Every structure is written in structure tokens, then in C-alpha cells.
Homo-oligomer: A and B are copies of this chain.
Amino acid sequence: MKAERIQSSSHMDLVSQNRCFGGTQSVFRHRSEVCDTDMTFGLYLPPQAERGSVPLLWYLSGLTCTHENAMTKAGLQAHAAQHGIALVFPDTSPRGEGVADDDAYDLGQGAGFYVNATREPWKAHYQMYDYIVRELRALLQGAMPVSGAHGITGHSMGGHGALTIAFRNPTLFRSVSAFAPIVNPTRSDWGRKQLLAYLGHDESQWADYDASLLLDRLGWHGDILIDQGDADQFLDLLKPEAMAQVIAAKRQPATLRMQAGYDHSYYFVSSFGEDHVRWHAERLKDQ
């Protein structure tokens, strides 16, 4: 399916489209059934998508971000064009009038934490786990020139999303990596507050959204790539040591890189973006 045909999709409105590294960076808006509101996402199709379906790499963003931040700042399109893979940049929460929110930057809009909320006032719209895993994935595979070979990555809260979604859906995702992910939210102030709000007091419900607990319980069929800056101002909240401990105990194939001097910013993500895109491309094209 060629890019020109996408515009006519009845499922989505094309918000913007820009030529980028020989491919196309688009933004779409669509009605989400599971979030019961409009949702916006960015999609990069490399030049190779003009000739057939290409693998798809999901990039989940962090707290306060929309679909737009990584799309404009992470510089991943250059590498996606080189390797012939598509990129999708979902939003980080439902948004808009009638969607519950909170004054804090780390709860509510911009902070969906990729969970299916079960508590008021969140459950009506905050169904980001199902939105990613079921709805948006099906929408993309039906309407875009993307193959069934999917990888997933993300930054910070989005790294948490990438790891938890991959570990719980090993048949849907072939490769997983993360930039400075929140890996143990059930024991972090970036996690406990939100899991309590979205899921309630029964902490056994939280375990499905904790990458370290999930890896320990479920394992992972491939290797894992995680980059972390050692000058990250949020290191205490991310808890990379929790994931490292599970990886060691389980003998899980993984590459954890502590990068000297890097902080939590997009400068960190962009500095290692080429490595991650190549890493996914190798695994997505290999099968």
C-alpha cells in the first residue's frame, strides 16, 4: 500500500505530512474506541515503504511528551530511512475536554504510563495499554505499509511501556530496547503514585506493569538493549539496578550500557538512536 493511499483512509485524518530523509513523516488523528477519545500519533515511513511493507519500530515517549517530541528531537528518521523500517510515535495519554487530568506533571494527561486504568476518574479514557497493543497496532497493520515484524523501544516512562508491553506480548514484538527506562515502578515514586491512582490499592494488580517483575516472571525470547546515562538526574527513580539484578539472576541475554556523562534529555536519546534503530532492524529483518 503506497503512502498516497493513506490519505483516503476512513479511519484517520491526516494532520500533517513532511518529506524527511527521502520518506514521509506524517501525523494522524483518529477516533480511539478503547480510549473513547481522539488520539494523535506520528508515523515515519522510509523510502522503502513505497515498494512494499517494511518492519515497524514503536517509540513510546516519556512523561509530559506528546506524539511530537521524539518525532522532532530524537533524530531517528535518518536511521529508519537507512535501514528501511517505519517508526510510530504514539501519544502518552488520552487528551482533551472530558478526559480526566491532574495538576501534577506526572499524573493524568501526558502521563498515561501505558496501563489500562481500572479506577475512577481514570478508567473511562486511560486505556493506553490496550490502545497500543490492540487498537493502534491493528489500525497500522490494516492501513499502512508495515509488516508483522514489530519492535518496540521508548524513553523513561516510554521505556517502561516498551519493556512491559514486549514482555507481555512476545508473539507480537520481536525486539525490545529502551532509553533510560523506569524499570521498577512498583518501588519508585515514578510508579507507585500512578499505579495507585490508575489501578487502586491492590498491589498485585501493579505487577503486570513492572518490567523487572515481568521479566523475572515471564522471561523474554530474545536479547534486550538498554542505554542509561550515568549523569541522569532521575537515576534514583529509574532503578536500573532492579532490572540488572533480574537479568543476572535469570541469565537473560541483554546489553545494559551505562553511558558516561549523559543525562535524561533527548540529547542522550539522539546520541544512541542510531545504535537502537540498527539493533532493531537487524532483528526485525532477520526472521
Q: Which residues of A contact B (CB under 8 A)?
A: 18-22, 25, 72-73, 75, 77-78, 229, 231, 259, 261-263, 265-268, 270-271, 274
Residues of B within 8 A of A21 (CB): 270-271
CB closest residue in chain B, given A72? B73
CB–CB B72/A19 < 8 A: no
Residues of B within 8 A of A262 (CB): 18-19
Q: A20 CB to closest chain B CB, in angstroms?
A: 4
CB–CB B20/A267 < 8 A: yes
CB–CB A271/B75 < 8 A: no
Cβ contact of A267, chosen from B18, B231, B265, cutoff 8 A: B18
A271 to B73, CA, bound (A): 13
Subset of 21 A-B contacts with CB under 8 Å? A18-B265, A19-B229, A19-B231, A19-B262, A19-B268, A19-B271, A20-B267, A20-B268, A20-B270, A20-B271, A21-B270, A25-B267, A72-B72, A72-B73, A72-B266, A73-B73, A75-B75, A77-B267, A78-B270, A78-B271, A78-B274
Cβ contact of A19, chosen from B22, B75, B77, B261, cutoff 8 A: B261
Q: A58 CB to closest chain B CB, in angstroms?
A: 20
Q: A46 CB to closest chain B CB, in angstroms?
A: 12
Assuming the A-B contacts A78-B270, A270-B78, are A18 and B263 also in contact, with contact meaning beta carbons closer than 8 angstroms in the complex?
yes
Q: Which 3 A-B pairs have the closest CB atoms?
A: A20-B267, A19-B261, A75-B75
A274 to B259, CA, bound (A): 24
Residues of B within 8 A of A259 (CB): 19
A271 to B24, CA, bound (A): 11
Residues of B within 8 A of A22 (CB): 271
Cβ contact of A270, chosen from B75, B266, B274, cutoff 8 A: B75
Most chain B CB inside 10 Å of its own CB: which residue of A19, A72, A229: A19
Residues of B within 8 A of A72 (CB): 72-73, 266
Q: A43 CB to closest chain B CB, in angstroms?
A: 13
CB closest residue in chain B, given A17? B263
Q: A47 CB to closest chain B CB, in angstroms?
A: 11
